[in-house]
Amino acid sequence: MSTERTEVRVGRRTLSLSNLDKVLYPRDGYTKRDVIAYYQAVAPYLLTHLRDRPLTLQRFPDGIDVASFFEKHLPKGVPEWVERVTLASPEGARARTTYLVCRDEASLVYVANLAALVLHVWTSRAQTIEHPDYVFFDLDPGETCTVKTLAQVALAMRDVLSAIGLAALVKTSGGMGLHVLVPLAPGHTFEQAKLFAEAVARRLAADEPQRVTIERALAKRNGDAVYLDFVQVGRGKTIVAPYSLRARDGAPVSMPLDWPEVERYARKRSGLPAEVFVEHNLRTALARLARDGDRFAGRAWVKQRLDHYI
């Protein structure tokens, strides 16, 4: 493994990259060089979802088989040109945290060179930090839950939202689950978003008691069901960014889907979600984007109000 540093030019910046041949995905052979190349190639799509958002990094300096660590605070040694934002922390009024913000391709390459495989973002942007611009639902399948059941629950959620006049987007988490998002018009608070998420989760759990649970205790959940985690909605809570890699074999990515794809998953006879969703990965994502574009972009991102539903 080479320990030499390599200088590269990215836009107006010169970056010093290290250990490019280090293998981060042992079963697949993907190196840090492959990870950086992926993030550079996906930057035109990914940066739309990172720009102005506080970022928490999940770093794997020795690869996915070795313990990772989350880095919420600005990493040491970050160049001055990398954007950052300092915010009051939930821990107390006097506590403050300085977050890294990815605004451009050079920043993204810098982050990838830290072996930050997984990128977790706030649902609000620095300029309007107290006002989320979407609310999301984390659909987390139990150990024995099939992709068919997971997709059916996502479709049921889509239909509940549609019945009250809201359009939803959907993506894979990059791991086992799905994320359903409702883009919001300006001005909503995190409290409004959380109340709404809880109301929808409780409604779906009541409608689909065999397939949906909101039971937080893992030991009490039905392994065949989908857990709806509305507790993860709120100020400072994060979601894996669209197109972020995940630290799993196959190097899957969190991929925006369209609803007909979810309908096809709902017709599958068997298969666990992680086994199926790995088809969206470091090698396949770019071809899909070149063909279909960003399914979360443009007219798909319909800004909506929750006033009548909370």
CATH 3.90.920.10 fits 134-238+248-309, yes or no: yes
pLDDT of 282 reads 98
Burial class (CB in 10 A: 0-12, 13-18, 19+), 244: buried
Instruction: Report the residue count for the chain.
Output: 310
CATH topology of domain 5-122: DNA primase, PRIM domain (3.90.920)
CB 180 within 8 A of CB 169: yes
Q: What is the pLDDT of residues 28-37, one digit of tens each?
A: 999 999 999 9
Among positive and negative, which fits the CA dihedral 231, 141, 274, 266?
negative
Question: In the beta sheet, which residues pair with residue 172?
Answer: 178
Q: What is the dihedral of CA 97, 102, 106, 112, to 10 degrees?
A: 80
State the Cα–Cα distance between residues 243 and 295, nearest whole angstrom. 11
- Encoding tokens for residue 95? 């506590």
Provide φ and ψ at 65, rounded to 5°.
-85, -10
Q: Which tokens hold the place of 207?
A: 């409608």
What is the full DSSP assignment across 109-138?
HHHHHTTEEEEEEESS-GGGTTS-SEEEEE
- Residues 73-89, mean pLDDT to the nearest whole number: 93
CA distance 85 to 161: 34
Query: What percentage of the chain reaches a pLDDT higher than 90?
Result: 90
Decide if pLDDT at 142 tops 70.
yes
- Tell me the pLDDT tens digit for each residue of 36-53: 999 999 999 999 999 999
**Does 67 have pLDDT greater than 60?**
yes
The pLDDT assigned to 200 comes to 96
Query: pLDDT band for position 91 (50/70/90)?
Result: low
Helix residue spans in 138-267 (DSSP H): 147-163, 190-207, 259-266
Closest CA to 59 of 281, 253, 245, 254: 245
Which part of the chain is CATH 3.90.920.10?
5-122, 134-238+248-309
